[in-house]
Structure 1
Amino acid sequence: MTRPAVPGTVNWSNVLTVASAAVLIATQAIATAVAAGWALAGLLNLGDMGEYGLMALFSLVGIYASFAYLRMASRAEPLRH
């Protein structure tokens, strides 16, 4: 049974949903980015510094994707009634 919405209040269920999904997507995006940097550096024999550089570069892309997802999810899910 749900209570009626009070105008101007925060719907904490929606906030929790958006935050949980953002954490899940961020973890997957950053882990995939690091793995892709490691694999590509190994494939191209770039050595340790090339490996760390690609992992850092791809991690920045993963972090950007995570923030973009968070912005889109918070727009799609109404946090207020």
Structure 2
Amino acid sequence: MSEKPLNLVHLSTLVAVAILVGTELVATSWAAGWALGGLFQLDPAVSRIFEIVFALAGFVGLYFFMRTAVRHEPIR
């Protein structure tokens, strides 16, 4: 079974989109956790937990976004 060669244009587009959207999504999520911790004047440890939970939510969002992007821009 021979596989199709990699489509480098689609691959470079997906890498660029992952970097751009990933940075925006994860940074915004992290900042939201930081802002909520400061707004409610939470303990720094609790604020860090908020940041981590929100950042993980950003990574989950990035995963689902990239899954859809790969479906529409196949690499092979």
* TM-score (normalised: structure 2): 0.89
Q: SS of 1:9's equivalent?
A: coil
Q: Tell me the matched-pair count.
A: 74
Unaligned runs of 5+ in 1: 1-6
Please, which of 5, 8, 13 is the counterpart of residue 12 of structure 1? 8
Alignment-derived partner of residue 48 in structure 2: 52
Counterpart CA distance in 1 for 2:74 and 2:63 is: 18
Residue 9 (structure 1) shift? 2.0
Larger Rg computed on CA atoms: 1
Q: Work out whether 1:29 is the aligned partner of 2:36.
A: no
After TM superposition, where is structure 1 displaced by more than 4 Å over at least 4 residues in a row? none
Percent of aligned pairs with the same amino acid: 34
Q: Work out whether 1:63 is the aligned partner of 2:59.
A: yes
* TM-score (normalised: structure 1): 0.84
> RMSD between aligned alpha carbons?
1.3
